[in-house]
Amino acid sequence: MKEMTGPFRINLQETFERLRRRRRHSPIVSIRENVAMSFEFFPPKDEAAERRLDRTLDALGRLEPAFVSVTYGAGGSARDRSARVVSHVASRFARPVAAHLTCASASRDEVDAALDGFIEAGVRRFVALRGDLPAGAERAAIERGGYRRSHELVAAIRRRGDFEVNVGTYPEKHPDSVDIRQDIDALLAKQDAGATRAITQFFFDTDCFLRFRDQAVAAGVRIPIVPGVLPIHNFGGTRRFADGCGAVIPAWMDELFAGLDEAPEVRDMVATTVATEQCARLIEHGVEHIHFYTLNRFELTTAICDILGLGPRRGVGDISRVDGLKRA
């Protein structure tokens, strides 16, 4: 398959053009002015990764996202790196930056210190998460003296001011939850604590997201539920991510991507098409905001947004118009 990269490169461009033409005559065109997007980045670990992140910031910044977020490390050095990256992204990215904050593996004082540090640095948007419990740690030992659940962290942030607080949710059930109702109850608790938006873990079963959204709304969730989309840069890596968070990879995707990690141009074409169709279907079912897990890469996300007609041509400015939320 590697010997066929030339023809496949041509086919890739032809596929993009066909999809663009089809989108121009689809229902998406009439509503794309109301569709926002946001991007997630993570702190790079070395100079090469830093350069790649900067290239990604330059490329995705031209798409005018509603905001971007930077993930947060549990350890002290990782937290410091997260803070530096938040500051760096804010300095060269003309869009709002949200700082991730987790509470599972730190004391209340440690979390409060990190939170106050972000606020002092000018951060006004957060993604509040429980975070993963350290391997082998007793839950009681971790929870003693700290924020036990993410809704407590949300409340702590809101006590400090009228900040935007995004939270996470799992349309396919959190691995620790008994059932989906428990996840909806957790989302309701975060909403009551002051959360302003929920962003889902990535998923590939669009029907599952739509069912979860409908159930959550019926249960009283009023904040926007934003689907998280993960373009597939490497199927083996995506499989590991999915196994770790409980996301289901449908059998048809296993068949579609079989062997394609050895043919990256073909894989990128397939991955772009799969994610574009997923986003198109979400938009057709009323989704007004899509959050992309970029993995600090821009190529696939840029292609997906371009095919869908998203980007600077949309004219979407402040996220408050899209989500119906008042912003300072």
CA distance 118 to 300: 31
User: What is the set of active-site residues?
Assistant: 40
Residue 132 pLDDT: 74
Residues making up the chain, counted from first to last: 328
Residue 5 pLDDT: 44
CA distance 94 to 79: 23
CA distance 161 to 116: 11
Residue 18 pLDDT: 61
Q: Please, are residues 48 and 77 in contact by the beta-carbon 8 Å criterion?
A: no
CATH domain 2-313 topology: TIM Barrel (3.20.20)
Q: Please, are residues 65 and 319 in contact by the beta-carbon 8 Å criterion?
A: no
Beta partners for 169? 200
CA count, 13 A, side-chain hemisphere, 66 = 25
Residue 275 pLDDT: 96
pTM, 2 dp: 0.85
Residue 29 pLDDT: 52
195, 226, 242, 196: which is closest to 292 by C-alpha?
226
| Mean pLDDT in consecutive groups of 10 residues from the start of the chain, 328 residues | 43 59 55 81 93 95 93 64 90 90 87 93 94 60 72 97 97 91 97 98 96 97 98 94 92 92 92 94 94 97 90 47 36
Task: Tell me phi and psi for residue 108, to 5 degrees.
Answer: -60, -40
Q: Rg of the chain's alpha carbons, rounded to an integer?
A: 20
What are the domain boundaries of the chain? 2-313
